[in-house]
Amino acid sequence: MTRFLGIDYGTKRIGVAISDENGVLAFPKEIILNKIDTFKNLGKIIKEENISEIVIGESVDFSGKLNALSARIEVFILELREKFNLPVHKQKEFLTSVEARKGGNTKKSLSQSQVHSKVKQIKSGRIDAGAAALILQRYLDKINK
């Protein structure tokens, strides 16, 4: 059984998701602040959740080309491989944060309380974990076809 860790890398926050034990479904896990203890926090999750592979979002622009964040992600991937000695896979993450922010409510108008709740989610960073889950789910769907 392979358990995956999904990562939505950001310069301030890193969204984290995990797969189920069968590597079929992805679930938002948490947000890690991108600071000096980032790898310590990731290591704790990797150990506690028995992670065997990592999937990280590959940042691209609207034309599908690598963008300014791409170089930072590549350095982060090198560090992940060095520190945890696990396979790291890239998955294009085009608009995953936008998709996570919408939460599936693309057509429906939101009430005032729902708008307030969405704003609170965005401010608290939960969108990043949702985006990590979307990245991971896309990868899992691709390999499980």
Predicted local distance difference test score (pLDDT) of residue 110: 54
Alpha helix ranges (H) inside 15-87: 38-48, 70-84
Give me the CATH number covering residue 137: 3.30.420.140
Predicted local distance difference test score (pLDDT) of residue 123: 44
Single out the residue of 132, 126, 127 nearest to residue 101, CA to CA. 127
Predicted local distance difference test score (pLDDT) of residue 128: 85
pLDDT digits (tens, 9 = 90+) for 7-57: 999 999 999 999 999 999 999 999 999 999 999 999 999 999 999 999 999
Predicted local distance difference test score (pLDDT) of residue 104: 46
Predicted local distance difference test score (pLDDT) of residue 59: 85
What is the number of structural domains in the chain?
Answer: 1
Q: Residues 78-82: what's their mean pLDDT?
A: 97
- The three-state secondary structure class of 20 is coil
Cα(46)–Cα(103) distance, integer angstroms: 27
CB of 73 within 8 A of CB of 59?
yes
Q: What domain range is 78 assigned to?
A: 4-143
Distances (CA, A) of 109 to 95, 105, 119, 141: 21, 8, 15, 30
- 64 or 130, higher pLDDT: 130
Taking the model in full, what pTM does it have? 0.80
DSSP 8-state code for residue 66: B
